[in-house]
Amino acid sequence: MGHELLGILSNDKNGSDVEEVNGEFIKSLTAAVVLFPALTSPELLGMDVWEEKTIPELNVDSTTSFTIMPHLSIFVIQKCPKLKMLPSYVSSHALRVLIIENCPQLTGMQPSLPPLLEKLKLGRDVGDLSSSLLPLLHNNYDYPNLNHFKILILHSRHSPNALTCSHHFDN
């Protein structure tokens, strides 16, 4: 696999940060790791054991920064029965379409929906995620590009009755 799929390790920090060490001025170096830099539309389907976001332990120091899927524009997550929290990269500014279905253990996402999201679809059982997202959608000014929101046959541990809802926003 090429580095464009697996990630890039760069020991070069843009900018001219200078640090004084023992009376000498030294250019500060940091490492930036970008995982899946070219990936734009992954579909994670049937991941029965995926519980939460995890990054494998790497032998790096505290000056290393991680970025995951910076060009993520469409993200589909389906049939992940143990997934409890959406990964932080779901809040990517590049994300335009988010589709989540059959993830009954979901409790929410932090900190909020991606600001440029255009389409959100929740299908079947998405745990408590739907109830945590609905208050966010009341203010259309926070999500000016959101023009399609759909909930299909939603089941929840707290609300066992089915709900079907589809809404197109006029901006």
pLDDT at 152: 79
pLDDT at 143: 77
Q: 144-166, pLDDT tens digit by residue? A: 888 888 877 655 555 544 444 55
CA 18, distance to chain mean position in Å, is 33
Give, as one character, the DSSP assignment of residue 62. T
Q: Which amino acid is at 48?
A: D
Give, as one character, the DSSP assignment of residue 113. S
Q: 14-42, pLDDT tens digit by residue? A: 444 545 555 565 555 566 788 888 899 99
- Give the CB-side neighbour count of residue 28, counting CA atoms within 13 A: 11
Residue 140, both tokens: 């259309």
Strand spans (E) along 28-147: 31-35, 43-45, 64-68, 74-78, 97-101, 119-125
Give, as one character, the DSSP assignment of residue 138. G
Please list, in sequence order, all residues whose beta carbon lies within 8 angstroms of the beta carbon of residue 110, skipping any fewer than 6 positions away.
Answer: 85, 88, 91
Cβ contact 129:108 at 8 Å: yes
Is 51 a residue whose pLDDT tops 60?
Answer: yes
Element (H, E) at 167: strand 163-168
User: Which of 4-18, 39-53, 59-73 is predicted least confidently?
Assistant: 4-18
Four-CA torsion 139, 141, 147, 148, nearest 10 degrees = -30
